[in-house]
């Protein structure tokens, strides 16, 4: 029994907004973000190939975030670049900052905002380009106040969507 054209349209629309991300620090996990339904799903890393074999999900484009990690006192900092896989097409520069003593988003929000403000001032004086602070609304996705890999997945998906929405070079 085949799908009706209405069912196929829903399936295509759903698949268009199903975005996936994997992290080298969590090699056994894969995260999907279904943006229209505000869902972040954590699964075993084999789920991507299973879904591709079932023709429910197909990887059309891969954005690779690559760079370095630093431990600076109580801060864990990742700095790198976002490129389209199999090319050197730079989409953006990424700076991820984690304040290790506290995992509560509410408790660290002000501290992190001050950190971003300092970087904005430095960038305005000495850099070309611009710094964009992207912070998804975790509450829309029913994510808890305690930071997790699901929060990180949503942030990287938001970055990817932002980078891909910018004009190409």
Give tens-digit pLDDT for 30-81: 998 998 889 999 999 888 788 878 877 666 777 888 999 999 898 888 999 9
How far is Cα 100 from Cα 97, in angstroms, rounded to an integer?
A: 9
* Confidence at residue 39, expressed as pLDDT on a 0 to 100 scale: 92
- On the question of pLDDT at 7 being above 60, the answer is no
Strand partners, 29: 44
Give tens-digit pLDDT for 140-162: 999 998 889 999 999 999 988 88
> Which are the contacts of 70, defined by CB distance < 8 A and separation ≥ 6?
76, 77, 78, 79
Q: Is 70 helix (H, G, I), strand (E, B) or coil?
A: strand
Locate the domains of the chain by residue range: 5-165
Give tens-digit pLDDT for 106-122: 888 888 888 888 888 88
């Amino acid at each position: 029994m085949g799908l009706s054209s209405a069912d196929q349209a829903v399936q295509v629309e759903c698949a268009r907004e199903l975005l996936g991300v994997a992290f080298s620090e969590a090699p056994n996990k894969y995260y999907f973000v279904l943006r229209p339904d505000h869902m972040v799903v954590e699964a075993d890393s084999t789920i991507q190939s299973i879904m591709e074999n079932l023709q429910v999900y197909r990887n059309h484009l891969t954005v690779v975030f690559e760079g370095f990690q630093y431990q600076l006192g109580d801060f864990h900092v990742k700095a790198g670049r976002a490129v389209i896989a199999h090319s050197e097409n730079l989409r953006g520069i990424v700076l991820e900052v984690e304040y290790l003593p506290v995992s509560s988003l509410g408790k660290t929000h002000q501290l992190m905002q001050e950190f971003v403000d300092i970087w904005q001032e430095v960038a305005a004086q000495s850099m070309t380009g611009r710094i964009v602070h992207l912070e998804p609304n975790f509450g829309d996705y029913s994510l808890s106040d305690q930071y997790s890999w699901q929060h990180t997945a949503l942030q990287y998906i938001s970055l990817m969507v932002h980078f891909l929405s910018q004009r190409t070079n």
